[in-house]
């Protein structure tokens, strides 16, 4: 069985409320990222891309209608290229990368593109017509994500002050990364309806300490989680060309990373934020590695409390994690984020000259997903 590799990866800037990205169709947004990725790799002809798998947490409205195929058409792929949609909530586009990776390894395809996209302004959390099963509702299966973060904060006594410091550091790291040009390799400029060209993320900003400390709890009256310590509602897209080694060898391509292992795991939905812990444990076991072997980590920052829970419970080295900032600063456009953190992980590993990296995230409903890669 051939190994699977990431040939290249790219993402859009992430837009926030009242930003210039508001109003772009998510299918157009994803298509621009795919097109930019193909243009950056001229050796790969469009006819070589056999499948496009799009991860989207709420695939309806303008991000519905089998967006996997429509993104390929909009990006200029030939009509015999195929497409589908994956929904694993926040882990959707990492799952898309896993599916392309698996297909490439077993020879079902030679090369495909894993895409993530979400416009949380065009399609609300929960979608347009949520319909909850009464039995699951009684079990609080549909618990709000903020409440799950509060549960984790209570479990490990994670203070509001620690959450705020973590969130402010996310912004500071992202601002420093921008100053040093560290996002240049992973960003593609986006044309928003011919009215604006967006080149950078809306989110990173110098923390206003007094304002942050004055905020009321966002989810529970006596809680510790605030808007400042939560990832913001956002819009964005990311994409990765995933192929097998044979494809790269036959086309004289030098991939950027090898996909070493993939894993998913389930946890209780009221503590969904701990999902990365069992997922990472499974991924490490499959790769015959330990956390000591992992040199660079991208941990999706759904909430500061959730991130700190995973870091502390897992005994992870925080100096390896989210070196260019994370989702609290950049934004967490649900279905986009898995592909986004994989893209950022490769970028950071090249900047740090590290070999082995981990991307992982929690998933609403009580899941975790993880990917271990090595620079090729």
State pLDDT tens for residues 300-327. 999 999 999 999 999 999 999 999 999 9
Task: Give the helix ranges, DSSP H, for 253-365.
Answer: 276-287, 304-314, 327-330, 337-352
Percentage of the residues of the chain whose pLDDT score is greater than 90:
99
pLDDT tops 80 at residue 1? no
pLDDT class of 376 with cuts at 50, 70, 90: confident
Pick the closest to residue 171 from 295, 280, 276, 16 (CA basis).
16
Please report which confidence band the pLDDT of residue 245 belongs to, taking 50, 70 and 90 as the band edges.
very high
pLDDT digits (tens, 9 = 90+) for 149-172: 999 999 999 999 999 999 999 999
- Predicted pLDDT at 278: 98
| C-beta separation of 241 from 7 below 8 A | yes
- What are the tokens at 195? 């009215």
Does the pLDDT at position 356 exceed 90? yes
Angle in degrees, CA 124, 130, 136, rounded to 5: 125
The stretch 195-220 carries a mean pLDDT of 97
pLDDT > 90? residue 72: yes
Mean pLDDT of 272-288: 98
Rounded to an integer, the average pLDDT of 257-272 is 98
Q: How far apart are CA 347 and CA 289, in angstroms?
A: 22
Average pLDDT, the chain: 98
Catalytic residues: 90, 332, 362
User: The whole model's pTM is what?
Assistant: 0.98
pLDDT in tens, 98-131: 999 999 999 999 999 999 999 999 999 999 999 9
Interval 280-297 mean pLDDT: 98
Work out whether the CA dihedral 350, 351, 353, 357 comes out positive or negative.
negative
CA distances to 194, 271, 328 from 367, in Å: 39, 9, 20
Q: How far apart are CA 57 and CA 224, in angstroms?
A: 27
Tokens 């079990």 — which residue? Answer: 139
Q: With 80 as the cut, is the pLDDT of residue 360 above it?
A: yes
pLDDT value of position 266: 98
* Structure confidence at residue 181 (pLDDT): 98
pLDDT score, position 308: 98
């Amino acid at each position: 069985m051939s190994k699977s590799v990431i040939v290249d990866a790219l993402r859009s800037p992430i837009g926030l409320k009242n930003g210039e990205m508001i109003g772009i169709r998510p299918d157009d947004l994803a298509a621009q990222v795919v097109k930019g990725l193909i243009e950056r790799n001229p050796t790969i002809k469009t006819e070589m891309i056999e499948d496009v798998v799009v991860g989207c947490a709420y695939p309806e409205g303008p991000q519905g209608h089998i967006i996997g195929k429509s993104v390929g058409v909009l990006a200029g792929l030939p009509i015999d290229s195929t497409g589908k949609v994956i929904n694993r909530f926040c882990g959707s586009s990492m799952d898309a990368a896993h599916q392309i990776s698996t297909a490439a390894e077993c020879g079902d395809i030679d090369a495909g593109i894993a895409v993530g996209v979400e416009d949380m302004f065009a399609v609300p959390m929960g979608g347009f017509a949520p319909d909850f099963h009464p039995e699951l509702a009684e079990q609080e299966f549909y618990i709000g994500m903020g409440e799950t973060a509060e549960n984790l904060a209570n479990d490990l006594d994670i203070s509001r002050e620690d959450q705020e410091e973590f969130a402010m550091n996310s912004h500071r790291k992202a601002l420093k990364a921008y100053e040093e040009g560290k996002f240049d390799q992973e960003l593609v400029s986006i044309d928003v309806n011919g009215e604006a060209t967006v080149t950078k993320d809306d989110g990173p900003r110098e923390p206003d300490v007094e304002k942050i400390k004055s905020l009321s709890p966002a989810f529970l009256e006596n809680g510790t989680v605030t808007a400042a310590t939560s990832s913001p509602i956002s819009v964005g897209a990311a994409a990765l060309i995933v192929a097998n080694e044979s494809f790269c060898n036959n086309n004289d391509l030098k991939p950027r990373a090898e996909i070493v292992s993939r894993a998913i795991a389930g946890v209780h939905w009221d503590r969904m934020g701990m999902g990365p812990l069992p997922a990472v444990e499974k991924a490490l076991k499959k790769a015959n590695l330990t956390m000591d072997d992992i040199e660079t980590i991208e941990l999706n920052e759904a909430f500061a409390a959730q991130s700190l829970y995973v870091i502390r419970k897992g005994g992870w080295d925080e100096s390896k994690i989210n070196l260019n900032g994370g989702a609290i600063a950049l934004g967490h456009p649900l279905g986009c984020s898995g592909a986004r953190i994989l893209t950022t992980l490769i970028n950071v590993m090249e900047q740090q000259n590290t070999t082995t990296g981990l991307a992982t995230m929690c998933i609403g409903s009580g899941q975790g997903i993880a990917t271990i890669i090595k620079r090729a």
